[in-house]
Amino acid sequence: MDDPVREVLAAYPQIYHACHIQHPRRRTNPASLSARESWILGHLHSRRPMRAGDLARHLSLRPSTVSEAVKRLERLGYLTRRRVEGDRRRLDLYLTPRGAEAMKAGSVLDPGRVGMLLRELPPGDRVAAVRGLGLLARAARALNAAHPKRWHSGGD
SS3 at position 50: strand
Beta bridge partners, 92, equal: 51, 82
Whether the CB-CB separation of 106 and 114 falls below 8 Å is answered with no
pLDDT at 31: 62
pLDDT at 152: 47
pLDDT at 108: 76
**Which pTM was predicted?**
0.68
pLDDT at 155: 46
Task: Determine the Cα–Cα distance for residues 33 and 87; give it in Å rounded to an integer.
Answer: 31
User: For strand 79-84 and strand 50-51, is the pairing parallel, antiparallel, or unpaired?
Assistant: unpaired
pLDDT at 25: 58
Edge-first strand order for the sheet with 50-51 is 50-51, 87-95, 79-84
Which residues in the chain come in under a pLDDT of 50?
Answer: 151-156
pLDDT at 156: 42
Whether the CB-CB separation of 143 and 135 falls below 8 Å is answered with no
pLDDT at 1: 64
